[in-house]
Amino acid sequence: MASHGASLFRAWVGGPPAPAYFLHGAGTGLAGLLAAEWERRLRRDGVSFETYRWTMTDLERDSPTIAWRSPSFFSSLRIFVLPDISEMKKVHRDEIREYLAAPEPTAMLILHGTDYRQAKTFSGTVNLLSAAPREDQATEALAGYAVAAAAEAGMTLSGDCAAFLARWTAGSFEALEAELRKVMAFAAGRDQVTEEDIRAVCVFRGEVNPFQLAEALERKDAKGCLAMLRRFSQYAKDEEYHQLNGALAWHLRERVRGKGGAAVSPARAAEIFGALTRIDREMKGESRLSPRQVFEVRLLSVLV
């Protein structure tokens, strides 16, 4: 899928390749998008390249520095997309810093970090360009990619629907790309991907429809809402709670705009948005509770 010249990375991709880029804040899930942007730029310019997406196993297998300093016979530039620095051992972070003191000009490192304090320190590394996008910037960048990718496939995807997919996948480029492929396959034979297509595809394991859960939440149906949440919790992985939070926020925004059913009052919308915002912050590290516990506590607060 072709990428779209996301304004978020315009300054980076518009200039000469840097030795390394580092994304943190709400941009931690955009490393793959940045790699796609660079691939598009290099392809357009006729520059040969290779992309390597390393796991922690790859990082442990051999000396990363040897790999980064070994030019390729087949490409002018090698792009290495690396794992979360918070998952790396200190020795690996130190090795990256040491390497960047005298980087190899034919290699580009793309890194991200989810630990705020660690990221703040790491962002000052020499020869490293760093950015911490806001959540709305990350959503806009991912939505732009989705709209452009659908257009390349001969389909229309509205900006609103694309933004929903971006929120649904919790700001992860890889997750958004996977969901987008599923939705477009579902809508194959038509020239437009609709909200109904997304609703049909984006249902957790067929067990719980997040939009029905949102409706129960909006009308203060505590019994129905909690029953669906607990049924969902029987199978959900931690990352799927982030998707659920995005789906609830999307549905609420649509109701506030009077779309898809009865409008929600401003007071009720503000109350629910406040809870969803707290859920998001607490699942990203402000609470020691599990995602399931965070959801139950915060939803209960707006169901009574």
Query: Domains (ranges, CATH) in the chain?
Result: 7-133 (3.40.50.300), 158-301 (no CATH)
pTM: 0.77
What pLDDT digit, counting tens, does each position of 117-147 carry? 899 999 999 999 999 998 889 989 999 999 9
Neighbours of 257 (CB within 10 A): 11
d(CA 221, CA 137) in angstroms, rounded, equals: 34
- Cβ(114)–Cβ(24) under 8 Å? yes
What integer is the mean pLDDT of 199-216? Answer: 74
Q: Which of the residue ranges 47-51, 59-63, 252-256, 258-262 has the most confident prediction, judged by mean pLDDT?
A: 47-51
Phi and psi dihedrals of 170, rounded to 5?
55, 35
